[in-house]
Chain A
Amino acid sequence: MTIHSLMPAGQVGRSLPRLEARAKVTGRADYVHNLRLPGMLIAKVARATVAHGRIVSIDTSAARALKGVFAVYTGEDIRKHIPQPYYGPAFHDQPILALDKVRHVGEPVAVCLAEDAHIAERAAQLIEVEYEEMPAVFDEVEAMDSKAVVHDVLKPAGTFPDLKHLHGKKDTNIALDFHLKRGDVEGAFASAAHVFEHEFHTQQVMHTPLEPMVSAAEPTREGLTIHTASQSPSFVRIEISRLLGWPENKVQVKVPHLGGGFGAKLYIKLEALVAALALMTKRPVKWSLTMEEQFYTISKHATTFRIKSAVDADGKVTGRSCAVYWNGGAYADIGPRVTQKSGFTAPGPYDIDNVAIESYALYTNRPPAGALRGFGIPQLVWAYESHTDLIARGLNIDPVEFRRKNILREGRPQATGTAMKDAAIDLVLEKIAERMNWSAPFDRGTGTVLRGRGVGVGFKASISPTTSVAFVNIYADGSCALYMSTVDMGQGSDTAMAQIVAEVLNVQTENVRVIHPDTDVTPYDMATLGSRSTFHMGNAVKLAAEDAKQKLEAMARSVGVPENANIETREIFKKKYGMQAGNVMGVGSFIPTYKSPDSVTGMSDNITPFWMVGGTGVEIEVDTETGHVKLTKLINVADMGRPLNPNIVETQLSGAAIMQLGFTMFENMEYDAGQVTNASFADYKIPGIHDIPPDIENHIVLAEQGGGPFGAKGVGESATFGVSPAIANAIHDAVGVRLTDLPLTAESVLRGIRLKAGNPIGE
C-alpha cells in the first residue's frame, strides 16, 4: 500500500530556504526580545563591583524612593520564597541573587522592578552595597592551589555520576578533574628520539548573540509560563520546578526564534530570577540584558594547555601528555562537562599509543564560563595543532606530511580506546591540502609584506548520552506538524527537521508546520547544543514520522483500503471517522548507546555515537613593519555526514569559521581587578564585513554517518576547530614567529618579529 503523495520525496538534501525566511526579511519574526505582556514589569539588576567579597549591607532605600519603582528585592527576599535558591546544570552553586558574598564583578546583587525600563535602570544605579573584600583568584593555574577559594563547599547537582565524589568538598577550586591514562607514557618519553613540550593559552571571550539574553515569566492559574530565549527549554522547566518544589507540569516554557545563541543561552540563565519575581509580584516580569550585561553572565573558558610529545626517529608520535586547565569563572555552569567531554580529545586526531590526560575545571573570580560553539574543542585544537606544527618544523618535515604520518584513521582507537568510526579525518586533511595546492611552490611575498600558509584539523565527540523526543501529528486533511523542543537559533533546525518529516511522509517540506518549543505541547529534548540536534533530534523526528506513517497505514488497512491503493490521506481519515476528523500522532524517542569513561583510567570503548571533524587552511600576509596580519584565503572543510540541506550547512561552515576568526585575531575580555574593562561593542570588537577574507571556500567531505538520520550529523561547530592554529601556523610560516597566546594581535606579531631580529620593542 502506498499513501497517495502529491510530491515525490527527495526532500532530504534539498537546499530550500529556511521556512521562516519571509518572517525574518520582513522584520516580523518573533523573538522574546519583542515580547510585551499586559501589566508587565521590567527588571533591572544592580551588579557587584568587587570580584570577591562578603556583603556587609545593601541599601535599597534610594531605589525604593524613586517615583515609579514597583519593588526592590535582594537575595534575602528571594530566599524567603525559595529556601534553596541555587541553580545550575552541573553544580547547584549559583544564587538567584547574591547571598552572603559575591564571587565576580557583575554578579546580580539586587533587582529593581518598574513598568518603565528607564526608571528600573535608574533605581538599580541607586542601590548602595557595602562589601568586605576578600582575596580573589583570576588565573586558572593559580586557582589550582590558591588561598582564595571561590566556593566554601562544592555542591554538585547530582545529575552527573562523575561529579558525585565532589559533594561536600571544601578548600578547593577544582570543580572537576578528569584523568585518562592509556599505554605507557613514561616509557614512551624515556625511549623517544625527540621530545617536544609547549604551553598554550586562550583568552576569555563572549558569544555576544545580537539578541541579548532575555527571559520573561508570567504567573498563570496553573503555575508559571516562562518565555525565554533559551537553547534548552526542557532543562529550564526541570530546573525551575526543582527550585520551586513543583511538579514539572506546572511550569510551561516557551521559546520562539532566537537571535543567536552559540551556547550563551543554554541551561538556565535569567529564568530563575524572572520566575521568582513573577511569583513574588504576581505580575509578568521581563528581564532583558544589555549587550554589556551579557559579558557578566557567561563566556568561553580561558585555558592553559601544557602539551608534551614523544616522537620516534621516523617522525611518529609515540607518546603524549596533556594537562588542560579550564578557567570556569565563579559558577560552574556546564564547565565540568566541557572539561570531561572535550578533555578526552586533548591529544588530537592522531594515532598515539601512549597518552596521559589531566583536565581540570577551575573556579575563579571571573564571570562564569560555559559552552561556546565547540564546547571547549577550539581551545584544545589551538594547542595541539600549534604543537603539531612545531614538531613538524622541529623535525624538518612538511606539516601536512607529518600529519599524514600520524593521523587517526578509520578503525583505530582514539585516546579513550573507542575505535574511530565514520570520522573522515584523513579526507578532511587531504581536501584542505588539495584546495590549497599544498605541494605546489608558494609565493612568499617580498619587502615588508611576507606571505605564509597553515593548516589545522580537529575533531569532537558528541555530547552523550542524551535524549530527544519528537511528535509528528498528521491532521485529518493530510497536513502535518512537527512538535519538538529543538530551538532554531539560526542554525536552520526547523527547516532541516521538516525536511526529514517531509522525506518520510512524502510531502513537500514547505507544508510541514514546525511547532516551536512549548513544554506544554512539545516533548522533551536535552538541549540544542554541541551540534547534537541533527543526529539526536534528527533520529527522533525520523522515528516519529515513521511511526506516524505506520499508524496511518494501519488506519488505512483497518478501513479496508487495499494494499497499493492510490488514496489521499484525507480520504483515509474520512473513511475512518466519517468526516474530516481525528489525527494520527507519531512518536519518536532517541538515545544512543554510550559507556561512560572508567573512573580511574578514563577509558571507554563507546565514548560517543559519532565524531565531528573539521579543518582549516589559510593563506595570510604579514606587514613586517606593523605586525598586521591579513587573511587572504580561508578554506573550511568538514565531515558532516550527508547534509540535510547543503546551503544551510554551507552558511554554518563559513559562519562558524568567521566567528572563530574573531576569537583568533582580536576578541578578548580585558580585565582590571576582576572588572571587565571592554564590555561593549565599542571596545570588544567582533568581526565585521571588512574583516572577512576575500576568498572563502567551504567544502563538505561526503561521508555517510552510520546511525545518523539519512546519514547526517551535526555541523554547527566543526568549522571553528582549525582556524586559530591554522593562522598561527601561517604566521610562523611567513615570518618565523610562534605565538602561543590568543588573540594573535598585530602587536604580538610585531614584538615577535623584532625579538627575532634582535631589536626588541620595549615594554
Chain B
Amino acid sequence: MSEHAKSISFELNGSKTEMLVETHENLVELLIRMNLNGARESCGQGLCGCCTVIVDGSAVSGCLYPAAFVDGKTVTTVEHLDNNVHLSPVQEAFIEEGAFQCGFCTSGFILMTHQLLEEKPKPTDEEIRDYLAGNLCRCAAYPEIIKAVKSAANKMARA
C-alpha cells in the first residue's frame, strides 16, 4: 500500500467491512479483493454496465467509482440478490426468457433491472430501453432481456 492509502468502513452485502484502499483503486478492484467477481470490468469507461454495483441504493459503474468513495456507504453486489438460496424474480425471469448467452453482461443487466422495477414497477418498452441504454450485450440478447424485464415485473406484481 502507498502512503496515500485510506482506511474506510462501509457495509458490504449486509456486513460491516473495514479495509485499507488505495486512492487510485476503483470499486471493482475492491470487490475482487473481497472475492466478489460478479461485477467485472469490461469497457472500463462507464458504457457497458458489466461492472454495475449498487451504492447507497443507486446503481454505479464500479469501473469509474473510486473505492475510497464508498466510505460510510452501503454497497450491494449481484451476489447479494439470492444469498445463495432463492433466486430473485428478476433472476428467474432472465433464466426463463434465456436473456443471456455468455453471461458476462448479465450481473449488470440484472442489477439494473432491479433498480428499474423499484422505480417503475410497470415499465413501458420505451422506459425499459431508456433505463438499460447504458448496458451493452455483445451477444445481443436484447430482445430476450426486454421480455425478461416484463416478465419479472409481472412476477413482482403478483407477489
Contact = CB atoms under 8 A, between A and B. Distances in A.
- A–B direct contact (CB < 8 Å): yes
Interface of A: 17-18, 20-29, 31, 33-34, 36, 118, 207-212, 257-262, 290-291, 489-492, 647-648, 651-652, 654-659, 680-682, 686-690, 692, 694, 696
Given A21-B95, A27-B77, A212-B42, A689 B142 contact: yes
A25 B144 contact: no
Label chain B's interface by main secondary structure.
loop
Contact of B138 (A210, A680, A689): A210
Interface bracket on B: 35 or more
Contacts of A681: 43, 45, 47-48, 136
B95 A17 contact: yes
Chain A binding site: helix, strand, loop or mixed by DSSP? Answer: loop
A659 B137 CA distance: 10
B95 A22 contact: yes
B140 interface: yes
Contact of A17 (B96, B104, B142): B96
Given A210-B42, A680-B43, A681-B45, A25 B95 contact: yes
B61 to A, nearest CB: 12
B133 A655 contact: no
Given A208-B138, A210-B48, A261-B102, 12 more contacts: A21-B94, A23-B103, A24-B103, A25-B95, A27-B36, A28-B79, A291-B45, A651-B101, A681-B47, A681-B48, A681-B136, A689-B142
Given A33-B40, A211-B42, A490 B139 contact: yes
A28 B37 CA distance: 7
Interface stretch (B4-12, B65-73, B105-113, B116-124): B105-113
B145 interface: yes
A656 B135 CA distance: 18
B91 A489 contact: no
Contacts of B129: 689-690
B140 A490 contact: no
A17 B98 contact: yes
24 contacts: A17-B95, A17-B98, A18-B98, A22-B87, A25-B95, A26-B87, A27-B107, A31-B104, A34-B37, A34-B40, A207-B138, A209-B138, A211-B42, A257-B102, A259-B102, A490-B101, A647-B98, A654-B140, A655-B140, A658-B140, A689-B129, A689-B133, A689-B142, A696-B143
B101 A655 contact: yes
A34 B78 CA distance: 15
Nearest to B50: A210
Contacts of B18: none
A656 B9 CA distance: 45
Given A208-B138, A658-B140, A648 B98 contact: yes
Contacts of A687: 140, 142
Contact of B78 (A26, A260, A489, A655): A26
Nearest to B92: A25
Contacts of B95: 17, 21-22, 25
A23 B125 CA distance: 28
B81 interface: yes
Nearest to A211: B104
A564 to B, nearest CB: 39
Contacts, number: 151
A28 B110 CA distance: 13
B138 A688 contact: no
Given A25-B95, A688-B136, A655 B106 contact: no
Contacts of B91: 25-26
B24 A118 contact: yes
A651 B24 CA distance: 40
A251 to B, nearest CB: 26
B79 to A, nearest CB: 5
A28 B39 CA distance: 10
A689 B49 CA distance: 12
A23 B32 CA distance: 17
B38 interface: yes
Max chain A C-beta neighbours (<10 A), residue from B82, B91, B137: B137
B48 A27 contact: no
B50 A682 contact: no
A25 B87 contact: yes
Nearest to A292: B44
A207 B102 CA distance: 14
Contacts of B60: none
B140 A692 contact: yes
B146 A689 contact: yes
A689 B139 contact: no
A656 B141 CA distance: 10
A29 B104 CA distance: 9
B132 interface: yes
A205 to B, nearest CB: 12
Nearest to B24: A118
A649 B146 CA distance: 18
B101 A492 contact: yes
A25 B94 contact: yes
Contacts of B139: 260, 490, 651, 655
A490 B143 contact: no
Contacts of B82: 26
B63 to A, nearest CB: 10
Contact of A491 (B24, B43, B101): B101
Question: Closest 3 CB pairs between A and B?
Answer: A27-B38, A490-B102, A259-B104
A29 B37 CA distance: 9
A655 to B, nearest CB: 4
B38 A26 contact: yes
B140 A659 contact: yes
A211 B102 contact: yes
A490 B47 CA distance: 21
Contacts of B138: 207-210, 260, 262, 659, 686
Interface centre among B37, B81, B96, B144, by most chain A C-beta atoms within 10 angstroms, is B37
A610 B102 CA distance: 26
Nearest to B105: A210
